[in-house]
Amino acid sequence: MSYHLVKTKTDRVIDVIIYGILALFALFALFPLYYVVIMSVTPITEVFRNGGYVIIPRGFTLDAYKAVFASPTVPQAFKITVIITLVGTALNLIVTSLLAYPLSKKPMPGRNIILFLIVFTMLFSGGLIPLYLVVRATGLLDTIWAMIIPGMVSAFNMLIMKTFFENLPDEIEDAARVDGCGDISTLIRIVVPLSTPIIATMGLFYGVTHWNEYFKGIMYLNDRTLYPIQVVLRNMIQTASVSSELAVQSSVVQELPPETIKMAVVVVALLPIVAIYPFLQKYFMKGMLLGAVKG
């Protein structure tokens, strides 16, 4: 026998109010992205006619994107960002997994001390100047590795991954050891395949962090050919003229409003993350729930 919940008039009114509030929050969240995209494809005449503010454009143009990709700066910065994100995320996941897996085992000697030291770094850090001195002393200045190696492991991400490993049944690993697998073989052949949700979630966290990183580029990079896309965008936003940052003749971009070109660069920098996220969303929620709650 099945029972159907009959909603009263009050329940329906409350549902309408809740959905209305959620729709309003969604509008607030999506409108800035919508405005950036619209401004990047709106013809210059319409931008000037509306005083630089357009909501529903009457025309469509890709001149801003043509100007952006005609510059050697943006494609080079985009390539550098892709390299940093792919290499950095892969190393982050490897090192984080190798640290989280042994710490998930309670019999490990010194486990509590190591965990205390890791958590301590979440509350206190050595400071900006000591970190810069370490990077300089290790010869990482003006190299891509300066964007990857400092902060190789996030303590927060490691703790979530450790909790996920603790939730895995011990019987599975015991069976693997009976079959002759060592610790590394058990991790690679058994634990990693079972940990796809948390690995995808941590990969998304690390990947977004690398993609949006600009502060390390400002601190550690003087070679403009190594600038990631976020540093280029930051420099463009801080200057009134974008032609110098794009490294092209001013005649190429002087017919376009600087704001339009800046919006086009924002879309170029944002599009890859927006395109990848839907494919990882199903792992994201599952990984966070399983990794944050101890079963």
* pLDDT on residue 22: 93
What one-character DSSP code corresponds to residue 154? -
* pLDDT on residue 95: 93
Average pLDDT, the chain: 82
Residue predicted with more confidence, 253 or 133: 133
Percent of the chain with pLDDT over 70: 84
- Mean local confidence (pLDDT), 245-254: 60
- Quick check: 287 and 197 in contact, CB under 8 A? yes
Claim to verify: residue 98 and residue 39 sit in the same structural domain: no
For the stretch 13-35, pLDDT in tens is 888 899 999 999 988 888 888 88
CB count in 10 Å sphere of residue 28: 9
* pLDDT on residue 51: 64
Greatest mean pLDDT among 6-15, 152-161, 187-196, 286-295 lies in: 152-161
Claim to verify: residue 96 and residue 10 sit in the same structural domain: no
Claim to verify: residue 98 and residue 28 sit in the same structural domain: no
- Mean local confidence (pLDDT), 161-177: 83
Q: 109 to each of 113, 115, 128, 130, how far by Cα in Å? A: 9, 12, 33, 31
Claim to verify: residue 259 and residue 187 sit in the same structural domain: yes
CA angle, residues 54, 58, 62, in degrees to nearest 5: 85
The whole-angstrom separation of Cα 32 and Cα 98 is 40
> What tokens appear for 58 in the block?
């009457």
Claim to verify: residue 54 and residue 24 sit in the same structural domain: yes
Which of these, 253, 246, 266, 230, lies nearest to 36 by C-alpha position? Answer: 266
For the stretch 82-100, pLDDT in tens is 999 999 999 999 999 999 9
Claim to verify: residue 9 and residue 86 sit in the same structural domain: no
Claim to verify: residue 51 and residue 78 sit in the same structural domain: no
Query: CB neighbours of 87 closer than 8 A, spacing ≥ 6?
Result: 144, 148
Domain count, the chain: 2
CA angle, residues 266, 267, 272, in degrees to nearest 5: 115
Of 43, 61, 79, the domain-final residue: 61
For the stretch 172-206, pLDDT in tens is 877 878 877 777 888 888 888 888 888 888 888 89
CB count in 10 Å sphere of residue 83: 15
pLDDT band at 295 (very low <50, low <70, confident <90, very high): very low
Residue 117 has pLDDT above 80, yes or no: yes
Claim to verify: residue 233 and residue 248 sit in the same structural domain: yes
Task: For residue 289, report the phi and psi dihedrals to the nearest 5 degrees.
Answer: -65, -45
- Mean local confidence (pLDDT), 130-157: 90
CATH assignment of the domain containing 70? 1.10.3720.10
**pTM: predicted TM-score of the whole model, two decimal places:** 0.80
Q: How many CA atoms lie within 13 A of 30 on its CB side?
A: 7
Q: 68 to each of 53, 78, 197, 213, 275, how far by Cα in Å? A: 21, 11, 37, 20, 20
Which amino acid does the sequence have at 120?
F
For the stretch 64-78, pLDDT in tens is 888 888 888 888 999
Claim to verify: residue 271 and residue 283 sit in the same structural domain: yes
Of 30, 45, 61, the domain-final residue: 61
Claim to verify: residue 144 and residue 186 sit in the same structural domain: yes
Residue 152 class from Cβ within 10 Å (0-12 exposed, 13-18 middle, 19+ buried)? middle
Residue 280 class from Cβ within 10 Å (0-12 exposed, 13-18 middle, 19+ buried)? middle
* pLDDT on residue 6: 66
Claim to verify: residue 44 and residue 90 sit in the same structural domain: no
pLDDT band at 294 (very low <50, low <70, confident <90, very high): very low
* Enclosing domain of residue 28: 1-61
Claim to verify: residue 19 and residue 136 sit in the same structural domain: no
